[in-house]
Amino acid sequence: MRLHRFYIQNANFETLSPGKSFVCQEEGTVKQIALVLRGKAGDRVRFFNDTREWELEIESISKKDIVLKAIRLAEMRAQSRRVILIQSLVKKDKFEWIVQKATELGVTEIIPVISERSEKRGLDHKRLEKIAIEATEQSGWGRVPSIQITRHLREVLENIKKDGVKIYVLDMQGKTLQKNKEGDVAFLVGPEGGWGSTDRDVFNEFELETISLSVSTLRAETAAIIASHEFAR
């Protein structure tokens, strides 16, 4: 039976060992296990942070904390390279959906970007992080993707170029994607209105490769999910 997984960011799992007890006092996790899942002594769960994942057995449980015994160190499922989604701002609900699905598919970083035609609306960064954590718990990945702050297109490209990351631009005018499984990769997804002339000038300046995913005109969120699947699998 598949065990429920919980992300415990600040836990010191490096010092945990089989048979040793771990006390969880994180309010959200305790509530989820005790009240929603109705966990009881003897049930097993998995806790993970950015470096370790442990299978644990509940020894005692209350509304305030849970005492668990470490059973075994579990294998973490993680990407072997950086897979970065650079997403032009879209409506809040659509952006949140993109974060959820891209996380499930294995993207390692998500960068909201301001382009010429992007939705000029703020994002709730804390909420996006919560969505990414829940999607990571559900999907089985070992690391929660980094959700960066919103920045302008040129600034983002300058920073990523310095890291030697291969960058693609999704565009109907681009050539068919040839899968590249080696090296870190980033891909830019435009807003509902598509890329503007100012954006294209920036792409030319940085000598970026444009790629097309379909002969159809795709919504921004559809393009983001297809591209996430293509690059992260």
- Centre a 10 Å sphere on the Cβ of residue 157 and count the other Cβ atoms it contains: 23
Last residue of a domain, one of 49, 73, 97: 73
Tell whether 19 and 108 lie within a shared domain: no
Last residue of a domain, one of 46, 73, 100: 73
Tell whether 64 and 125 lie within a shared domain: no
CA atoms within 13 A on the CB side of 178: 3
| Enclosing domain of residue 59 | 5-73
Report the domain count for the chain.
Answer: 2
User: What residue has token string 């209350």?
Assistant: 62
Tell whether 88 and 47 lie within a shared domain: no
Tell whether 18 and 102 lie within a shared domain: no
- Distance from chain centroid for Cα 142: 11
The confidence score (pLDDT) of residue 181 equals: 64
The confidence score (pLDDT) of residue 130 equals: 96
Residue 160 tokens, joined: 């990523």
Q: Report yes or no on 184 lying in a domain.
A: yes
Question: Taking a C-beta distance cutoff of 8 angstroms, is the pair 220, 94 a contact?
Answer: yes
* DSSP sequence for 160-223: HHHTT-EEEEEEEEEEEP----SS-EEEEE--TT---HHHHHHHHHTTPEEEES-SS---HHHH
Question: Taking a C-beta distance cutoff of 8 angstroms, is the pair 190, 218 a contact?
Answer: no
The confidence score (pLDDT) of residue 177 equals: 66
The answer to whether the pTM exceeds 0.95 is no
3-state secondary structure string, 50-88?
CCCEEEEEEEEECCCCEEEEEEEECCCECCCCCEEEEEE
Tell whether 98 and 60 lie within a shared domain: no
Tell whether 62 and 113 lie within a shared domain: no
Tell whether 227 and 130 lie within a shared domain: yes
Question: Taking a C-beta distance cutoff of 8 angstroms, is the pair 87, 124 a contact?
Answer: no
Our CA angle for 211, 214, 215, nearest 5°, is 110
Question: Taking a C-beta distance cutoff of 8 angstroms, is the pair 176, 139 a contact?
Answer: no
Taking only the tens of pLDDT, the chain with its 233 residues reads 689 999 998 888 989 999 999 999 999 999 999 999 999 999 999 999 989 999 999 999 998 999 999 999 999 888 889 999 999 999 999 999 999 999 999 999 999 999 999 877 789 999 999 999 999 999 999 999 999 999 999 999 999 988 999 999 998 775 666 666 678 999 999 998 889 999 999 999 999 999 887 767 788 899 999 999 988 88
The confidence score (pLDDT) of residue 175 equals: 66
Maximal C-alpha separation, the chain:
61
